[in-house]
């Protein structure tokens, strides 16, 4: 067979193998994902396995994100070290709270004394309240709808006492560019901020926020890290069957985040002195 035909056959075989592998792994993921959700649907809640919110009781329905990484405790694992080092806050403002991963989690860890959680989706608000009830922190949680600039101004304008600590957690799908305008950032001079930025939805927001905060805050950029199968290894625990399947374990860790999503953590310099 001529060399050109051999090369063509080789390329065709590689392309077919690539297509086969893609559909094979997607098939495994779909089947495994369905099995896990079927198992979880029989329970109202389960305990989070690991991570900064280990032991927290969590519902079996996610809002706008993947459920299994939260139950495993690997969800947004990049932020775990930040969470572990946070001081205690008198008030946490959670914008885009969904079912309350941070709103409830920070109350559960006693990092927050009170949380005001903003979430536009009705099912997210209901799930947030339900998760707060499951963890006996509902009396310290206030759930609201859409957050606008005036809400931030009112919450930050007059601290009730000197040294009143505030943390703002934001994951609002590009709305951060509009919400954190320059005049709002001036009100945040003494607040800690943990903001997820969405470059595809708000181009340039990450760079602008980092630039405008650097005079008053110590800003740490945080990039997403690729998950590996080792992230689902939990010493001292009985691993369920669906986590023993290597390729399924790998896919269940995926958070299916869009490209261009990063975080920045800004701690006020006055708090670091």
Q: List per-block mean pLDDT (blocks of 10 residues) for the chain, which spans 273 residues.
A: 50 62 60 62 74 91 83 89 95 95 97 96 94 96 94 84 89 89 89 92 90 93 83 65 64 72 91 61
The predicted structure's pLDDT at residue 254: 73
* Full DSSP string of 123-136: HHHHHHHHHHHHTT
Fold adopted by 44-272: Rossmann fold (3.40.50)
Dist CA 253 CA 224 (whole Å): 13
- Three-class SS state of 265: strand
- Only one residue has tokens 């009143």, namely 164
User: Is 169 buried (19+), middle (13-18) or exposed (0-12) by CB count in 10 A?
Assistant: buried
Dist CA 152 CA 91 (whole Å): 12
CA distances in angstroms from 181 to 16, 90, 171, 175, listed in the order given: 50, 24, 16, 11
pTM comes to 0.82
The predicted structure's pLDDT at residue 24: 58
């Amino acid at each position: 067979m001529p060399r050109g035909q051999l090369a063509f056959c080789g390329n065709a075989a590689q392309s077919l193998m690539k297509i086969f592998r893609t559909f094979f792994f997607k098939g495994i993921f779909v089947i495994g994902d369905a099995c896990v959700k079927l198992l979880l649907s029989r329970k109202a809640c389960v305990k989070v396995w690991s991570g900064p919110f280990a032991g927290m009781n969590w519902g079996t329905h996610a809002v706008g994100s993947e459920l299994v990484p939260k139950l495993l405790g690997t969800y947004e694992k990049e932020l775990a070290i930040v969470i572990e080092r946070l001081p205690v806050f008198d008030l946490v403002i959670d914008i885009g709270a969904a079912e309350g991963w941070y709103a409830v989690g920070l109350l559960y860890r006693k990092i927050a004394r009170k949380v005001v959680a903003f979430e536009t989706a009705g099912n997210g608000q209901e799930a947030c309240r339900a998760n707060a009830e499951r963890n006996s922190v509902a009396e310290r949680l206030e759930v609201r709808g859409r957050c606008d600039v005036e809400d931030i101004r009112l919450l930050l304008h007059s601290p009730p006492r000197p040294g009143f600590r505030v943390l703002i957690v934001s994951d609002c799908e590009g709305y951060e560019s509009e919400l954190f305008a320059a005049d709002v950032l001036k009100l945040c001079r003494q607040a800690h901020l943990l903001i997820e930025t969405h470059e595809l939805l708000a181009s340039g927001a990450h760079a602008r926020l980092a630039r405008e905060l650097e005079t008053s805050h110590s800003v740490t950029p945080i990039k997403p890290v690729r998950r590996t199968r080792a992230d689902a290894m939990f010493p001292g625990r009985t691993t369920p069957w669906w986590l023993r399947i290597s390729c399924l374990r790998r896919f269940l860790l995926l958070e299916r985040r869009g490209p261009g999503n990063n975080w920045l953590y800004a701690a006020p310099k006055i708090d670091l002195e």
